[in-house]
């Protein structure tokens, strides 16, 4: 057999959300910052993302991370994040998976029960604290980039739903956030199909009607992800959420392209965005735990530890705590005569990914 590519990866999940971590077989790429390296992959080497996330090696809810040498002198490691339709600047679940893999595989030697790391991401330098027991990472807490709300209770017109009030907030990606109850949706696994459909409809409308861009990096622009939010009846949990990740390129004029999959975790950047919106509404104080539950019942613990500004927006400094588990070690290969060198998608479970 002749292989044109051989990629070493560790598979993991953070509270249910898969986060494959590539640890070998991919050379470094040009770029003075991790954001520039992300852009290089988007524009010159996107075949890696397609190979690893599409069938037969991936599936619609897959995520993938690539460990790279850091560009920041204070960082212990760098990584970029690959999802089905984008390279997000930051992701909480993927960060938790990356930290777990770096420490549990010995890529970064473990010294003591508390490890403090700095990771170079496309969104900036991220400070991380990992708790370790018996060589297992039992909790990862990271300080995310500043989060901020752009729109609060903004009315948008959603095809098939009418007027829907939404928040738009940045937590490492731009989220549109809507309450599930007025939409007649319960955030339960057996309603996942309806959650995805409604979330993609709201995101399509918000992209058209509420343009956004990061004031310090205009290349980070547009609402790329949706979140439905609901109250919790468990006194130990503050809110429930379901985050909808697109699996196809959204075409406003073709509702059939509005396809997605649920984030299986409570979503780290989504939790940061929700906390920023709550803070902007005066509903979440600083230095108070915020327990956020995902679709599987797993939770992340968020906290706002300070205030900041991002351009003209008041911002908050959030932390997220969660856990990941390694599920496998793999060598992914591409034979030289494989007819699908960038994988494939089929319309039964995928949207328009062309």
Would you please indicate which residues are annotated as catalytic (active-site) residues? 91
Nearest to 159 by CA among 226, 224, 255: 255
Cβ–Cβ under 8 Å, residues 152 and 277: yes
Strand partners, 330: 9
CA distance 305 to 318: 6
**SS3 string of the chain?**
CCEEEEEEEEEEEECCEECEEEEECCCCCCCCCHHHHHHHHHHHCCHHHHHHHCECCCCCCCCEEEEECCCCCCCCEEEEEECCCCCCCCCHHHHHHHHHHHHHCCCCCCCCCEEEEEEEECCEEEEEEEEEECCEEEEEEEECCCEEEEEEEEEEEECCCEEEEEEEEECCCEEEEEECHHHCCCCCHHHHHHHHHHHHHHHHHHHHHCCCEECCEEEEECCCEEEEEEECCCCCCCEEEEEEEECCCCCCCCHHHCCEEECCCCCHHHHHHHHHHHHHCCCCCCCCCEEEECCCCCEEEEEEEEEEEECCEEEEEEEEEECEEEEEEEEEEEECCCCCCCCECCCCCCCCCC
Q: Is the dihedral of CA 19, 24, 26, 28 positive or negative?
A: positive
């Amino acid at each position: 057999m002749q292989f044109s590519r051989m990629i070493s990866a560790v598979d993991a999940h953070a509270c249910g959300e898969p986060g494959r971590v590539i640890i070998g077989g991919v050379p470094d790429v040009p770029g003075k910052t991790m954001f520039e390296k992300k852009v290089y992959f988007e524009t010159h080497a996107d075949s890696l993302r397609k190979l690893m996330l599409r069938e037969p090696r991936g599936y619609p809810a897959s995520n993938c991370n690539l460990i790279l040498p850091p560009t920041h002198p204070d960082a212990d490691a760098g990584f970029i994040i690959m999802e089905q339709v984008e390279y997000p600047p930051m992701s909480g679940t993927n960060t938790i998976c990356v930290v777990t893999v770096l420490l549990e595989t010995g890529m970064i030697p473990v010294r003591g029960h508390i490890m403090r790391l700095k990771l170079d991401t496309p969104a900036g330098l991220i400070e991380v604290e990992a708790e370790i027991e018996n060589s297992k990472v039992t909790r990862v807490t990271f300080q995310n980039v500043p989060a901020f709300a752009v729109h609060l209770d903004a009315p948008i017109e959603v095809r098939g739903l009418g007027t829907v009030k939404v928040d738009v907030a940045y937590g490492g990606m731009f989220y549109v956030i809507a309450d599930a109850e007025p939409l007649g949706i319960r955030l339960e696994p057996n309603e996942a199909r309806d959650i995805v459909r409604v979330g993609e409809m709201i995101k399509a409308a918000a992209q058209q009607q509420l343009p956004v861009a990061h004031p310090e990096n205009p290349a980070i622009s547009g609402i790329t992800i949706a979140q439905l939010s609901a109250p919790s009846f468990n006194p130990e949990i503050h809110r429930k959420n379901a985050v909808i990740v697109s699996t196809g390129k959204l075409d406003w004029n073709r509702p059939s392209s509005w396809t997605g999959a649920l984030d299986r975790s409570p979503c780290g950047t989504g939790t940061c965005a929700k906390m920023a919106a709550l803070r902007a509404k005066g509903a979440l104080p600083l230095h108070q735990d915020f327990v956020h539950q995902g679709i599987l019942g797993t939770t992340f613990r968020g906290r706002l530890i300070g205030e900041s500004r991002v351009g003209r927006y008041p911002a908050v400094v959030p932390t997220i705590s969660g856990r990941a588990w390694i599920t496998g070690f793999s060598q992914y290969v591409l034979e030289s005569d494989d007819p699908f060198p960038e994988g494939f998608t089929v319309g039964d479970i995928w949207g328009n990914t062309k």
